[in-house]
């Protein structure tokens, strides 16, 4: 079952925990294990699948190099450790993925980047462009400048936000346990393994998680369940799997035991529902008959088809799309502010750069950001 989910996914986010990646005593990267993970990523890429990595471990690596003591660190110590560790961590990923001729691109985010609309759009566009160029985004929480994120955040939920941001089909959380149990299996010998959770995460499922924090890890099953809930809401399937063995992704493909969280819809339908039902239109675009027909056939809205721009909006805001009779035929996210949209309305895509002084998107509203009413 998990093998089929991995095989059909076009875009995959893999979250790697610090306990898998870093030796807790020496603060060094488990290089041989990381080499097998890199081989797995190259294998997925060779199958035509896009992969992004969300990696913990920066603080665990950095604290040893700075000579910081064991145990809980102060906020400023965590920030210093993250700054020291992340450069070493990124270098290790660059080396192992470079052996497979894969380009690594470091992206540092905070949870706020997924909640602030402008920053969300910028981060999404950057990640999507990196994937289109064949790079492997290496994402971590920006612990060096984060405050509350360090104390209360975790990379499980960040990975889920990234999966939603990228419209990923699958989120894989590599853990030190092979999935969800009805209770903590280390304490309860009668704990039942839960192979699959469908449609929604109920309070009963959440109650199974418990708390399991240790060392430099800030997660545990609680945050993994929270991450699965976020990902399912965005239409992405989540797999929690044992990651400590070599080639963890190929092990999943071979049918290794893991827990699957299967959503009702898919990333495309979830995003469309969000645009249609959760966003209020703050402006409007009136289109000509040709553009209306193009939209009905599944095309994007190009500047040439826009005959009027109403309201004041910024890039990434929701806008109503109306035909010549004033009837709303769709709703979408604008790739331009109202000021820039007015300047390029009625013009061909090739004229955008000359008019605005920069090369933006070819579409005013891309079909992936558009819902027909």
Sheet holding 328-333, edge to edge: 306-311, 283-287, 318-322, 328-333, 370-372
| CA dist., res. 27 & res. 58, Å (int) | 10
pLDDT, tens only, 203-258: 888 888 764 444 444 457 888 998 899 888 888 999 999 999 999 999 999 999 99
What pLDDT score was predicted for residue 219?
52
Q: 113 and 153 in contact (C-beta within 8 Å)? A: no
Query: Percentage helix, strand, coil, to 5, in the chain?
Result: 45, 20, 35
Q: What is the assigned CATH class of domain 279-372?
A: mainly beta
- Domain extent listing, the chain: 2-267, 279-372
Q: What is the assigned CATH class of domain 2-267?
A: alpha beta
Low-confidence ranges of the chain (pLDDT < 50): 149-152, 211-218
Going by the DSSP 8-state scheme, the letter that residue 169 receives in this structure is S
pLDDT, tens only, 25-50: 777 889 999 999 999 999 999 999 99
Task: Tell me whether strands 258-263 and 237-242 are parallel, antiparallel or unpaired.
Answer: antiparallel
Cβ-in-10-Å burial (0-12, 13-18, 19+) of 292 comes to buried
What pLDDT score was predicted for residue 144?
62
| CA dist., res. 67 & res. 335, Å (int) | 47
**2-267 and 279-372, same CATH topology:** no
For 70-86, letters b (16+ CB in 10 Å) and e give eeebeeebbbbbbbbbb
Cβ-in-10-Å burial (0-12, 13-18, 19+) of 203 comes to exposed
The whole model's pTM is what? 0.80
Cβ-in-10-Å burial (0-12, 13-18, 19+) of 280 comes to exposed
């Amino acid at each position: 079952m998990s093998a089929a989910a991995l095989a059909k996914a076009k875009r995959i986010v893999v979250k790697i925990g610090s306990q898998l990646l870093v030796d807790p005593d020496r603060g060094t990267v488990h290089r041989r294990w990381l080499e097998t993970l890199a081989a797995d990523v190259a294998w997925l890429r060779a199958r035509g699948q896009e992969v992004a990595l969300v990696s913990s471990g920066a603080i665990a690596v950095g604290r040893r190099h700075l000579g910081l003591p064991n145990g809980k660190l102060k906020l400023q110590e965590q920030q210093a450790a993250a700054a020291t560790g992340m450069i070493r961590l990124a270098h290790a990923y660059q080396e192992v993925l470079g052996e497979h001729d894969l380009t690594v691109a470091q992206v540092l985010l905070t949870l706020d980047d997924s909640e602030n609309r402008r920053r969300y759009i910028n981060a999404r566009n950057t990640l999507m462009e990196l994937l289109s160029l064949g790079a492997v985004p290496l994402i971590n929480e920006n612990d060096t400048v984060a405050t509350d994120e360090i104390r209360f955040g975790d990379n499980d939920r960040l990975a889920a936000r990234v999966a939603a941001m990228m419209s990923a089909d699958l989120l894989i959380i590599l853990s030190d346990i092979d999935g969800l149990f009805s209770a903590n299996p280390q304490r309860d010998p009668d704990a039942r393994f839960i192979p699959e959770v469908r449609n929604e995460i109920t309070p009963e499922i959440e109650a199974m998680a418990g708390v399991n924090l240790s060392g430099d890890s800030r997660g545990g099953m609680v945050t993994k369940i929270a991450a699965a809930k976020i990902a399912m809401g965005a239409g992405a399937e989540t797999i929690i799997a044992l990651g400590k063995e070599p080639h963890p992704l190929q092990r999943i493909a071979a049918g290794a035991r893991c827990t699957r969280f299967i959503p009702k819809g898919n990333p495309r339908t979830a995003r469309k529902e969000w645009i249609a039902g959760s966003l209020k239109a703050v402006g409007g675009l009136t289109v000509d008959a040709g553009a209306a027909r193009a939209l009905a056939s599944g095309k994007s809205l190009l500047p040439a088809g826009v005959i009027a721009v109403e309201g004041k909006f910024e890039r990434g805001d929701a806008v109503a799309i109306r035909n010549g009779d004033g009837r709303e035929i769709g709703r979408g996210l604008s790739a331009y502010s109202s000021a820039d949209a007015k300047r390029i309305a009625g013009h061909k895509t090739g004229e955008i750069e000359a008019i605005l002084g920069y090369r933006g998107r070819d579409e005013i509203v891309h079909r992936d950001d558009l819902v027909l009413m």
